[in-house]
Amino acid sequence: MSETPLDVVSISGVVKRFGDFTAIHDASLTVRRGEVHAIVGENGAGKSTLMNILYGLLPRDAGTIELFGRPVTFSGPAEAIAAGVGMVHQHFKLAPSFTVADNIILGSEPLAGYGRIDRARAERDTAAISRRFGLDLDPRAVVGALPVGLRQRVEILKTLYREAQILILDEPTAVLTPQETRELFATMRTLAESGHSIVFITHKLREVLAVSNRISVMRQGRIVATLDNEGVTAQEIAGLMVGRSVLLRVKKAKAEARDEVLLKVDGLEARGERGEAAVDGLSFAVRSGEIVGLAGVQGNGQDELVECIAGLRRPVAGSVEICGTKAVADPRRNRAAGLAYVPADRGGVGLSLASGIWENLTVGHIEEFGRGPFLAIKAARARAAELIRRFDVRGATLDKPAGSLSGGNQQKVQIARELTRDARLVIAEQPSQGVDIGAIESIHRTLVEMRDAGRAVFVVSADLDEIFSLSDRILVIYRGRIVADLVASETDPETVGRYMGGLEEAPPAAAASVSEAADHVH
Amino acid sequence: MSTEALDAAPSFPLAGLVKPLVQPLVAVAIAVLVGGLLVLALGENPIEVYSILVHGSLVGWPNFLVTLQMMSPLLFTGLAVAISFRAGLWNIGAEGQMIMGALAAGIVGYAVDLPTALHIPLALIAAFAGGLAWALLPALLRVWLNLNELVVCLMLNPIALLLSGYVSTHLLKAPGPTNKLPDIADTAALPTFSLYSQVNAGFVIGLVLCLVFAVVNGGTKKGFEWKIMGLNPRFAYYGGIRVPLQAVLVMMLSGGIAGLGGAEQVLGEYRAFYDNFSPGYGFDGIAVAMLANFHPVGVVLAAFLFGALNGGSAVLQMMTGLSKYLVQVLQFIIVLILAAQFSWAFLGSRRKAPPAHAAPAAPKEE
C-alpha cells in the first residue's frame, strides 16, 4: 500500500441488535483523512453504539468496516488501538492519583530492562508529544489536581501516544466551559491539519457548525444524511435529527414575577463528599412566577446546594426556606412544605429503575391513594396510565420497569410525578440531560407553563443553551459561591461563560444578598 | 402507541400467577436431577428413593401431619426473612431471634400462673418481644451508625444460642439430666390436633401470618413503601418515605415473627425450652424465603416443600441405606441454584443492559 487512501474509515451496512431491539440499521459512513467529522443525533439514535463498534467495544451483527482500505473486525479496543483508532469517552478513564505521564504511558509503558518502567523516558515522550500538538501539559502534574479541560487533554494525548490516526471523541464538550470548548476546537483543528481524522459525537448543533468539515446525522439507528458544512443551518440539522422541524428555543412570554418568595437560601454552607466547602456562604431567592437558572461547570457546588434544599444533605450553616417554611434535612417535610424536585440522578435518586412505572409514578403521592392503612392500587394505576398518556411517555406500560425506558422517557416519568404534586416550588436539575431534542421541547414547555401558573421554577443546568432558553434570571455558581446574578435578556453566553470559568469576579452588588438579588428583576 | 397496554388489568391474568413459579420450579427440578445422579453414584435407585421420599412425606395421614409439623417453624422463619429481604434489609438473624423468642415463651410458659385464655397470649407476646428485641439492635445500629445489619445479625446468632444455653443449663435449669427449662404449664400449651404428630395451633398461626402479610405487601401503603425501599432506598427517601423508621419497623416485625416461630416449638412441640433445640430453622428460613421469591404465599409453598423433604428423610433413612442428610444435600443444591440464578440475573442485567443511549426507542411513528 503505497499511498494513504482518502477514506481512512469506511463503514458500510453495519447492523447492531440488542435482543429484539435493533440499535443500528444498515449504517454507512466514511471518514476522510484530515477531517473533523461530526456525528449528531438524538439520544438513542445510535451514535455512540456505532462508534463503540468501530472501537471494538461491541461486535456488529452485519456489515463491513474498512480501515485504510483493509477490512477489519476488532474483538476488543486493544486491537482497534493497534490499528490506529483512539477513543475519548464522555467519562474519562484516568487514574486520578497518577501523574500525567504515568496516565499516558499506562498500558504501553516504556521499559528500562528487568521490567522496570523508564520514567524519565515517559516524561520526555509526554513532553514531546504535548509540544508537537500544542497541548500544553506538565508531565509531572497529578491528574486529580487538574481541571476537567486539562484532563481531557491527557485523554487525547494518551491516544496520540499510541499513534492513533483516527480519534473518536464522545460528547467531549459536555463537561467544558465555553472557553475550554474553544481550546478543544482549536486542538481538533490542529490535529486534523496534521493528518489525523476526528470523529466528534455531539448533540450540540452550534458546536457542530463551528468545528466540523462534514456532518453525519443519525436518526433511529440510521445515518439519514451526510452534509458538507457549508451553508447548513442549525434548524436544518435539527430537522434531520428529529424528522420534523423543532423550536430550538421555547416560546415564552415575559416573566411576571410576583413578590412572593418561594425559595430563599440564606448564607448556606455545606460540605461535599470529601469534606471540602462545596457550598460556601450562598444566598439567593426565587419568587413566584419566575424561572431562575443556575449556570455553572459541573462540580462547583450545584449538587450539594440542591441536596440541601431537597433535604438530602444537612447544611453546615445558613438556612433554606421553602414557601415560607424552614427546610430541614428530611425530604418528606420539605416536600410537604411545597417542593417538587426533578433530580439529575434519575437512576439513583429520582426513580427506582427496577420498579414498575406505575410504582415510580405513585411514590410521593402515596397519601393521595391512602384508604386508611390500605393503598388504592386500582386508582393509583389508573392515574399512572393517565399520566403516561398526558406526558406522552413512549414505550411505557404500567408494569414495565422504569429502567427499560429511554433517558428522555424516564425524565418524563419523573416530571409527570413531580409536577402533578401540589407544590409551588419546582427544582429541575439538568432537566434535559440525556433527553432527545423533541422531548426537551416538551419538558421546557412544561416548565414555562409551571412558571405561568405562578409557581417558582429553579433550573440547574450545565448546558448554557438550556439556561438561556428557559431562564428569566441567571445565577452563576463558581466554587460554591454565586458569582453573578444577571437578567437573561440582558446578557449573553460568553459573559456567563466567563463567570462560570471564574475568570471574572462578580460586581459586588450582584451576589451580595437576597434583597439585592430580588431587586435585579424589577 | 397502543393505549390498551395501559389499561389497569393485565391482559392474561394467569400469566401473573405462572411466571413467578418458573424460577423456583426450575431450581427444584435441577436439584432433583443432581440429587438423582448422587443417589445413583451411591449405588441406589433414584426413582425408588424419590418415591420413598414422596410416600414418606405425603401419602397417608400420619406422614402428611409430620410434614405439616416439620414445615411449621419454617413458616415463621421463612416469612421473617422474606419480609425483611423484600424491604432490602438483610436479616439473616432469624435463628437467633427464634431462639430468643423460644426462651421468652419458655420462661413465661412455666413461671407464670394464669388461665389459658391469658397465658397463651402472654407467652406469645413474650416470644414476639424476645425476637423483636434481638432484631432491634441490628436495626438501630443500621439506622444510627450505618452498620451493616447482615453482619450484626449474623454475629447475634451464636450469642443468642450461648445466652439461652447459659439460662437453660445453669440459671433456670430444670432438675434432672436434661439441659432444659422446667416444662411449661398446661395453660400455656398450644393445642395439638393428632396423636401422629406434634403439629399444633402454631401451624395455624404461621399460616394466618403468611396470609396477613400477603395482604400487607400487596395492598397497603406500608407494603408498597417497603417494596420501593427494597429496590431503591435513596429513591424511597427522596420520595418522602420515612426509610429509617420503616427499616426499624420491618426489622422489629421480622424479628418478632421469628420469635413466634420459637413459641411454636416451645409451646406446641416440646412443651419446654430445650437447649440447642433448633437444627437451624432460622437458616433454612433464608432458603425458604429465597425459594419463595420473598412472597408470603410462596413462603407457605416453599416451607411445605422443605417440610416434606425433612419429614420424608426419616422414612428414607429407615427404608434404605442412605443417610437422612441426603435431603439436606438436596436442599443445599436448591439454595445454590437459586443463588446462581440471582447472581446470574444480576450480572445479566448489567451485561445485557444496552448503554443508556441504546435503550429501546419509542415505537416508530414514521
Q: Do B6 and A385 touch (CB under 8 A)?
A: yes
Q: Do A336 and B240 touch (CB under 8 A)?
A: yes
Contact criterion met (CB below 8 Å) for A203 and A437: yes
Q: Do A366 and B240 touch (CB under 8 A)?
A: yes
Range of the domain at B259: 22-345
Other CB atoms closer than 10 Å to residue A283's CB: what's the count? 20
Domain assignment of residue B44, yes or no: yes
A349-358, A491-500, B215-224, B280-289: least confidently modelled range: A491-500
Which residue in B has a C-alpha nearest to residue A365's C-alpha? B239
The owner of cell 456489515 is A63
**The pLDDT value given to residue B347:** 62
Dihedrals phi, psi of A312, to nearest 5 degrees: -90, -10
Q: How far apart are CA B196 and CA B194, in angstroms?
A: 5
Mutation choice for B interface testing from A339, A368, A375 by most B CBs within 10 A: A375
Question: Which one is predicted more confidently, A136 or B103?
Answer: B103
Residues of B in contact with A18 (CB under 8 A): 352, 354, 358
Angular region, A46: left φ>0, alpha ψ -120 to 50, beta rest: left
Helix H or strand E segment including A385:
helix A377-390
How many domains does one find in chain B? 1
Residues of A in contact with B229 (CB under 8 A): none
CATH of domain A261-349+423-519: 3.40.50.300
Point out the residue among A220, A310, A396 whose CB comes nearest to the CB of B361: A220
Domain assignment of residue B359, yes or no: no
Contact criterion met (CB below 8 Å) for A267 and A482: no
Q: How far apart are CA B199 and CA B192, in angstroms?
A: 6
Radius of gyration of chain A (CA): 25
Residues of chain B with pLDDT under 50: 1-5, 7-11, 350-366
Residue type, A242: V
Contact criterion met (CB below 8 Å) for B267 and B123: yes
Q: How far apart are CA B37 and CA B209, in angstroms?
A: 38
pLDDT confidence of A246, banded at 50, 70, 90? low
A129-143, A432-446, B157-171: least confidently modelled range: A432-446
Question: Which one is predicted more confidently, A206 or B184?
Answer: B184
**pLDDT higher than threshold 90 for residue A335:** yes
Instruction: Give the three cell numbers for residue A430.
Output: 439538568
Instruction: Give the three cell numbers for residue A334.
Output: 420539605
Q: Where do the structural domains in chain A lie, given as residue ranges?
A: 7-242, 261-349+423-519
Q: How far apart are CA B242 and CA B229, in angstroms?
A: 9
Question: Which one is predicted more confidently, A187 or B205?
Answer: B205
Contact criterion met (CB below 8 Å) for A458 and A357: no
Q: How far apart are CA B139 and CA B145, in angstroms?
A: 10
Residues A189-201: tens digit of each pLDDT: 999 998 999 999 8
Fold classification of A7-242 is Rossmann fold (3.40.50)
**The pLDDT value given to residue B225:** 97
Residues B40-79: tens digit of each pLDDT: 998 888 999 899 989 989 998 999 999 999 999 999 999 9
Residues A252-298: tens digit of each pLDDT: 777 776 789 999 999 999 998 777 888 999 999 999 999 999 998 77
Angular region, A26: left φ>0, alpha ψ -120 to 50, beta rest: left
- Three-state SS for A220-265 is CCEEEEEEECCCCCHHHHHHHHHCCCCCCCCCCCCCCCCCCEEEEE
A 233-272 residues with CB < 8 A to B? 243
Residues of B in contact with A389 (CB under 8 A): 3, 6
**The pLDDT value given to residue A279:** 93
Q: Do A363 and B219 touch (CB under 8 A)?
A: no
Question: How high is the mean pLDDT of chain A?
Answer: 86
Q: Do A362 and B224 touch (CB under 8 A)?
A: yes
Q: Do B357 and A381 touch (CB under 8 A)?
A: no
Contact criterion met (CB below 8 Å) for A262 and A425: yes
Domain assignment of residue B15, yes or no: no
A 329-388 residues with CB < 8 A to B? 331-332, 335-336, 341, 343, 348-355, 359, 362-364, 366, 370, 373-375, 377-378, 381-382, 385, 388
User: CATH number for the domain including B117?
Assistant: 1.10.3470
A363-366's contacts with Cβ under 8 Å and 24+ in sequence apart are A363/A417, A363/B228, A363/B235, A363/B236, A363/B239, A363/B240, A363/B241, A364/A335, A364/A417, A364/A418, A364/A421, A364/B239, A364/B240, A365/A417, A365/A420, A365/A421, A366/B221, A366/B224, A366/B225, A366/B240, A366/B241
Domain assignment of residue B337, yes or no: yes
Q: How far apart are CA A177 and CA A485, in angstroms?
A: 18
Domain assignment of residue B13, yes or no: no
Instruction: Give the three cell numbers for residue A154.
Output: 491527557
What mean pLDDT do residues A86-99 have? 86
Which residue in A has a C-alpha nearest to residue B220's C-alpha? A374
Residues of B in contact with A399 (CB under 8 A): 10
Other CB atoms closer than 10 Å to residue B346's CB: what's the count? 10
**Sign of the dihedral through C-alpha B62, B259, B310, B323:** negative
Point out the residue among B3, B234, B357 whose CB comes nearest to the CB of A43: B357
- Name the packing angle between helices A493-500 and A178-193 (round to 10°): 100
Q: Do B357 and A404 touch (CB under 8 A)?
A: no
Contact criterion met (CB below 8 Å) for B177 and B186: no
To the nearest whole Å, the CA of B122 is away from the closest chain A CA by: 26
Query: Does residue A46 sit at the B interface (CB-CB below 8 Å)?
Result: yes
Residues of B in contact with A375 (CB under 8 A): 219-221, 223-224
Chain-centre distance for alpha carbon B215: 17
pTM: 0.76
**The pLDDT value given to residue B328:** 84
C-alpha angle B2/B5/B9, rounded to 5°? 150
Which residue in A has a C-alpha nearest to residue B2's C-alpha? A395
Q: How far apart are CA A432 and CA A425, in angstroms?
A: 19
What mean pLDDT do residues A157-184 have? 86
The owner of cell 428569566 is A472
Other CB atoms closer than 10 Å to residue B366's CB: what's the count? 5
